[in-house]
Amino acid sequence: MNKLAAKAASALCTLGLSMALATSVYAAVDRDAIIERIKPHGNICVEGDETCGTGAPAVAASAGAAARSGEEVYNRFCTACHATGLLDSPKFGSGAMSARADEKGLDGLLASSISGINAMPPKGTCNDCSDEELEATIQYMIDND
Ligand code: HEC
């Protein structure tokens, strides 16, 4: 090997080594940066949610937001099942909800809507609905039954 070739080989070696080092340093920095970027910005705990960790401030459901009408909530959340009677839900406009209201009363229907009943998920999937909004929604369903 002549002198020039030896020099070139050693330069290449140094370059390779420093690139390997630099890559691993960057990889570590990237990972931390990513973890920092994707971590939640805070913990919001909705009042009544018992799965929340301790220490997170409780925020009243729908605090600050104007209550939605029964019609709005129905069209956004409940229609998915109740419009067609999916999963044997009381079908909108069929008289089935009124029949249940006669049997259980509005309070009874509200209670089962909040907790969920059989195939119906808690709050009918409107997780940020207040009790008042749910009640207005059930009333809307009864009024249009
Ligand atoms: C994933 C489908 C689904 C969605 C979405 C849904 N429901 Fe239901 N709902 C059901 C089913 C199924 C039943 C019948 C449960 C039973 O009695 O077995 C039911 C029953 C009810 C009842 C009667 C409860 C009782 O005690 O007899 C009310 C009131 C009700 N739903 C209101 C709502 C409201 C209000 C919403 C929207 C905020 C909603 N549901 C969204 C499936 C759904």
Domain presence at residue 74: yes
Pocket residue to mutate for ligand 1, from 69, 73, 79, 81, most atoms within 8 A of Cβ: 81
Q: Rounded to the nearest whole angstrom, what is the distance from the C-alpha of residue 49 to the centroid of ligand 1?
A: 20
Domain presence at residue 15: yes
The residue type found at 81 is: C
Q: What is the pLDDT of residues 90-106, one digit of tens each?
A: 999 999 999 999 999 99
Number of domains in the chain: 2
Tell if the pTM clears 0.85, that is, is over it. Answer: no
The residue type found at 17 is: L
Nearest residue by C-alpha to atom 31 in ligand 1: 113
Domain that holds residue 35: 3-39
Q: What is the pLDDT of residues 5-42, one digit of tens each?
A: 666 556 655 655 555 555 555 566 677 777 777 777 66
Nearest by Cα to 128 from 71, 48, 56, 53: 48
Q: Work out the angle between the directed axes of helices 131-143 and 96-115 (0-180°, nearest 10).
A: 170
